[in-house]
């Protein structure tokens, strides 16, 4: 399986001769320019959307204007994407009751968004200033998060879990542990102690391999780079015995 990190929570995955994507975000504002474009999705069969925030959905209408892919999204996010021009015939509800793709054994699970804590909010406000805060507010109103989903699929008997935001409840974490996850795509963003928080999730889920994402400076000054080294230290602290694979920004890995 080839996995390409697009930055933020975005991935293109090639698995079982199929190609699909999670949460592609290419615009990146003042952030490092993406080498990917709408043309990068010519062979993508499906886009799975974790939640409605701008850094997960902003570019999907543009990508879909040139693509025959289907988009799987939770209800409100699907409505917003349709309102922004994605054809109704291409939009599908990411329902948690059945496989979204039988061959990939793709399933969706209801999840939650990480709660932005006060130290994170105050440091973000300091970086953004008044005009930046107004811009952020507009993005917040224009791109509501709606329901949050995680997705799990299988590749040659391995289970891969994609989490779009680190807000999993204890009940959900325990359910993932019972599913015996092989590869966990774990988002490092949205809290001043995000590495500690996600390491705690990993202590419970116990995947064999963790692949961090969303830790890039994807939309400065709203965003900041998050240290993966600090995440490694936190994984040691919780005595995680699996592996961490760090995929460089815009790079691919074979797993
Ligand atoms: Zn979000």
Which CATH number is 48's domain given? 3.60.15.10
**Residue-averaged pLDDT of the chain:** 94
SS3 157: coil
Q: Which domain holds residue 143?
A: 2-254
Q: The whole model's pTM is what?
A: 0.95
Residue 210 alpha carbon to ligand 1 centre in Å: 20
pLDDT tens for 129-186 read 877 778 877 887 789 999 999 999 999 999 999 999 999 999 999 999 999 999 999 9
Q: What is the pLDDT of residue 131?
A: 76
- Residue 189 binned pLDDT confidence (cut-offs 50, 70, 90): very high
Residue 24 alpha carbon to ligand 1 centre in Å: 13
Candidates 164, 155, 141; CA nearest to 47 is 164
Residue 169 alpha carbon to ligand 1 centre in Å: 16
The yes-or-no verdict on residue 98 having pLDDT over 90 is: no
Residue 253 alpha carbon to ligand 1 centre in Å: 25
Cα separation, 37 vs 6, in Å, equals 10
Residue 112 alpha carbon to ligand 1 centre in Å: 10
Domain total in the chain: 1
Lowest mean pLDDT among 131-140, 144-153, 205-214, 219-228: 131-140
């Amino acid at each position: 399986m080839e996995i390409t990190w697009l930055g933020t929570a975005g991935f293109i995955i090639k698995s079982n001769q199929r190609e699909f994507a999670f949460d592609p975000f290419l615009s990146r504002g003042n952030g490092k320019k993406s080498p990917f474009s709408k043309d990068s999705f010519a062979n993508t069969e499906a886009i799975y959307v974790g939640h409605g925030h701008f850094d997960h959905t902003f570019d999907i209408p543009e990508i879909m204007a040139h693509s025959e892919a289907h988009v799987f999204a939770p209800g409100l996010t699907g409505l917003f994407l349709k309102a922004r021009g994605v054809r109704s015939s291409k939009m599908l509800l990411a329902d948690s009751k059945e496989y979204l793709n039988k061959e990939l054994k793709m399933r969706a699970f209801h999840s939650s968004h990480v709660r932005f804590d006060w130290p994170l909010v105050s440091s973000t406000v300091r970086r953004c200033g008044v005009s930046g805060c107004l811009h952020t507010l507009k993005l917040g109103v224009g791109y509501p998060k709606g329901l949050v989903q995680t997705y799990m699929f299988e590749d040659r008997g391995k289970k891969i879990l994609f989490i779009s935001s680190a807000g999993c409840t204890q009940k959900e974490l325990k359910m993932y542990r019972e599913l015996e996850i092989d590869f966990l795509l774990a988002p490092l963003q949205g809290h001043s102690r995000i590495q500690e928080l996600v390491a705690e999730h990993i202590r419970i889920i116990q995947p064999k391999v963790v692949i961090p994402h969303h830790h890039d400076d994807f939309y400065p000054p709203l965003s900041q780079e998050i240290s993966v080294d600090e995440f490694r230290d936190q994984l040691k602290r919780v005595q995680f015995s699996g592996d961490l694979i760090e995929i460089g920004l815009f790079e691919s890995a074979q797993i």
